[in-house]
C-alpha cells in the first residue's frame, strides 16, 4: 500500500534576529508580495500584544509593570500557545503565515538574562509542542550596522549588553536548516534573498509537507 501523502498547506515562514535587523520591514514586504501573486498570506507577530496575555507582556516590556523572570518567560510562551490551534487551522486551510519572532526569541531573551535555573534547556520546555517553522530566516546584522539604524527605544531589553547576550544565544541555538540572511545590505537587496527562500518554502508546503513540532 502506498504511504499517505502529506496534505497541501500554507507555509510557516519565520523571521528571527537581534533588534533592528529588519524583521518587521521584510515580513511586511513579503506578505504584500505573496498576496500580490495570489499566495494567501498573513503577517503574525510575537509577542501578539492584542490578547489579554499580550497586554500583560506589553506592560512589562514598556516597564509599566514588573514581574518575576520565569513567570514572564512562561507568559511569552503562553502567548504562542493561545494561538497554536489557530495557527494549525490557518496552515491547513492553505494560508501562509509570515511570523515576526517566535519561540527562538523566547529562548534567546530569557537565556540572555543569565539567571540561575533559567538556562536554555529550561527555556525550551515551555515551547515544546508548538508548531515548528518550515523555514527560519535568521537576519544576521553586525552591531555597527544595527547602530546606524537609530538608537535603542525605551523598552526593557533595548540595551547594548542584553543585545550582545541575545546575539550569543542565537548563535548557540542555530541549526543547519536555518537560512542565514545577510541583513547588513539594503532593504531591496535583502528582499531578493527573502523572496527566494520564502517562495521555496511555500512551494514545498503546497506540494504536501507534514507539520512538525518543537523542539
Q: Does 60 bind ligand Z5A (CB under 6 A)?
A: no
With cell 539567571, the residue in question is 115
Q: Site for ligand Z5A (CB under 6 A): how many residues?
A: 23
SS3 category, 99: strand
Q: Of how many residues is the chain composed?
A: 215
Among 9, 13, 16, 22, interactor with ligand Z5A by CB under 6 A: 22
Query: Contact at 8 Å (CB) between 37 and 123?
Result: no
Selected range binding Mg ion among 21-29, 105-113, 115-123, 135-143, rule: CB under 5 A: 21-29
Cα 49 from Cα 64, distance rounded (Å): 14
| C-alpha to C-alpha distances, 116 to 69, 70, 167, 211, nearest whole angstrom | 11, 11, 19, 34
Q: Out of 13, 87, 105, 135, point to the residue binding ligand Z5A (CB under 6 A).
A: 105
Q: To the nearest whole angstrom, how small is the minimum distance from the Cβ of residue 155 to ligand Z5A? A: 6
Binding site for Mg ion (CB under 5 A): 23-24
Binding site for ligand Z5A (CB under 6 A): 19-25, 46-47, 61, 76, 101, 105-106, 109, 149-150, 155, 157-158, 186-187, 190
Amino acid at each position: 500500500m502506498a504511504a499517505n501523502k502529506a496534505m497541501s498547506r500554507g507555509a510557516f515562514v519565520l523571521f528571527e534576529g537581534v533588534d533592528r535587523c529588519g524583521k518587521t520591514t521584510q515580513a511586511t514586504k513579503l506578505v504584500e508580495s505573496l498576496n500580490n501573486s495570489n499566495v494567501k498570506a498573513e503577517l503574525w507577530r510575537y509577542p501578539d500584544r492584542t490578547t489579554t496575555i499580550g497586554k500583560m507582556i506589553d506592560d512589562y516590556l514598556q516597564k509599566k509593570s514588573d514581574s518575576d523572570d520565569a513567570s514572564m518567560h512562561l507568559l511569552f510562551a503562553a502567548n504562542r500557545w493561545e494561538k497554536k490551534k489557530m495557527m494549525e487551522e490557518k496552515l491547513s486551510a492553505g494560508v501562509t503565515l509570515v511570523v515576526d519572532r517566535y519561540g527562538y526569541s523566547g529562548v534567546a531573551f530569557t537565556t540572555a538574562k543569565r539567571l540561575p535555573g533559567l538556562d536554555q534547556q529550561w527555556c525550551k520546555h515551555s515551547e515544546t509542542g508548538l508548531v515548528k517553522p518550515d523555514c527560519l530566516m535568521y537576519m544576521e546584522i553586525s552591531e555597527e550596522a544595527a547602530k546606524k539604524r537609530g538608537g535603542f527605544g525605551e523598552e526593557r531589553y533595548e540595551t547594548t549588553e542584553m543585545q550582545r547576550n541575545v546575539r550569543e544565544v542565537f548563535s548557540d541555538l542555530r541549526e543547519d536548516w536555518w537560512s542565514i540572511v545577510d541583513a547588513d545590505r539594503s532593504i531591496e537587496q535583502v528582499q531578493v534573498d527573502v523572496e527566494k527562500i520564502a517562495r521555496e518554502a511555500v512551494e514545498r508546503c503546497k506540494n504536501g509537507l507534514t507539520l512538525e513540532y518543537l523542539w
